[in-house]
């Protein structure tokens, strides 16, 4: 009896393999959306490949996402968007099922929750250690401002690791206090704390919750330095470490 059961199971597996032999399912998600609106993954219709479009992504960000969402351990970057182009995927999350090189099913997938409509509350500026921080009186507290991004290393922040190291050295030797201001786009304050630990930053860090310090100083590229004199006049701005002897 048990041998018949085993035989039937074997036959079922063989049948399944036969059906799926030339069939593949591709699921395209965008990790930056997944953090906000996770996708409801449907039951696979064939062996599944999970893919992230090659847009605004790098291996470090992918690894971080996989750590937060272990069910996406097999997620891979669609290098140069080759499969996106091949299957004309222009929106995520989506899946296509391909059999013998022909798309037999294509659909947009649903997400678990709608974006939050809660009104954003104003969070006062302060350093990561809880000291108050004010744009109006910044020159009495700090002369050197280093604008950075906690997503470093990332493609839009060239040479950021080297610049952060240079800024740490500057802070160690500077006669004036140095503060690092972290861009709030795509990240939360915890990301600034991780940055502090990752780059062993010993001076003050401010997470610019509402991008107000960046706006005030019209910072357009990263990483970037601004140096003020004691009257609050900007005496240097640029992407190279300032000379503050």
Q: What angle do CA 85, 88, 91 make, to 5 degrees?
A: 105
Min dist CB 237 to other proteins, Å, is 8
Min dist CB 38 to other proteins, Å, is 16
Comparison of 93 and 167: residue with beta carbon closer to other proteins = 93
Asked whether position 223 contacts other proteins by CB under 8 A, the answer is: no
Asked whether position 55 contacts other proteins by CB under 8 A, the answer is: yes
Min dist CB 90 to other proteins, Å, is 6
Min dist CB 236 to other proteins, Å, is 12
Exactly one of 23, 24, 56, 139 binds other proteins (CB under 8 A); that residue is 56
What is 41-52 written as a DSSP string? PPPPSSSEEEEE
Exactly one of 2, 3, 43, 91 binds other proteins (CB under 8 A); that residue is 91
Asked whether position 107 contacts other proteins by CB under 8 A, the answer is: no
Compose the 183-202 pattern: x for residues touching other proteins by CB under 8 A, - for all others.
--xx----------------
Instruction: Count residues near other proteins (CB under 8 A).
Output: 27
Min dist CB 224 to other proteins, Å, is 9
Comparison of 52 and 203: residue with beta carbon closer to other proteins = 52
25: which 2 tokens? 């399912």
Backbone φ and ψ for 139, nearest 5 degrees, come out as -70, -20
Min dist CB 109 to other proteins, Å, is 13
Half-sphere exposure of 147 (CA within 13 A, CB side): 25
- Interacting residues with other proteins between 1 and 30 (CB under 8 A): 30
Nearest alpha carbon to residue 44 among 67, 74, 78: 74
Taking a C-beta distance cutoff of 8 angstroms, is the pair 26, 95 a contact?
A: yes
Compose the 144-163 pattern: x for residues touching other proteins by CB under 8 A, - for all others.
-----------xxxx-----
Comparison of 13 and 159: residue with beta carbon closer to other proteins = 159
Nearest 10 degrees: CA dihedral of 199, 204, 205, 208?
-160
Q: Hey, which residues does 182 pair with through a beta bridge?
A: 148, 207
Give the pairing of strands 48-53 and 23-28.
Answer: parallel
177: which 2 tokens? 């206090």
Q: Hey, which residues does 147 pair with through a beta bridge?
A: 181, 224
CB count in 10 Å sphere of residue 45: 15
Taking a C-beta distance cutoff of 8 angstroms, is the pair 41, 75 a contact?
A: no
Min dist CB 225 to other proteins, Å, is 12
Task: Give residues in contact with other proteins (CB under 8 A).
Answer: 30, 33, 53-57, 80-81, 84-85, 88, 90-92, 155-158, 185-186, 211, 220-222, 238-239
């Amino acid at each position: 009896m048990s041998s018949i059961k085993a035989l039937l199971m074997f036959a079922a597996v063989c049948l399944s393999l036969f059906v799926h032999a030339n069939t593949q399912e591709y699921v395209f998600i965008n990790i930056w959306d997944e953090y906000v609106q996770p996708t409801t993954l449907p039951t696979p219709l064939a062996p599944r490949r999970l893919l992230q479009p090659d847009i605004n992504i790098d291996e470090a960000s992918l690894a971080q996402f996989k750590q937060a969402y272990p069910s996406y351990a097999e997620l891979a970057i669609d290098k140069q968007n080759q499969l996106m182009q091949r299957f004309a995927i222009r929106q995520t999350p989506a899946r296509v099922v391909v059999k013998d090189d022909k798309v037999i099913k294509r659909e947009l997938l649903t997400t678990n929750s709608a974006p939050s409509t809660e009104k954003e509350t104003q969070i006062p500026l302060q350093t990561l250690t809880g000291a108050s921080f004010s744009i109006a009186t910044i020159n009495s507290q700090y002369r050197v401002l280093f604008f950075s991004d906690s997503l470093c290393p990332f493609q839009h922040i060239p040479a950021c690791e080297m610049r952060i190291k240079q800024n740490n050295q500057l802070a160690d030797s500077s006669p004036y206090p140095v503060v690092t201001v972290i861009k709030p786009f795509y990240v939360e304050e915890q990301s600034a704390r991780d940055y502090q630990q990752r780059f062993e930053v010993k001076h003050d860090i401010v997470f610019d919750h509402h991008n107000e310090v960046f706006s005030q100083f019209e910072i357009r590229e990263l990483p970037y330095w601004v140096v003020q004199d004691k009257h609050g006049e900007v005496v240097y701005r640029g992407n190279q470490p300032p000379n503050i002897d």
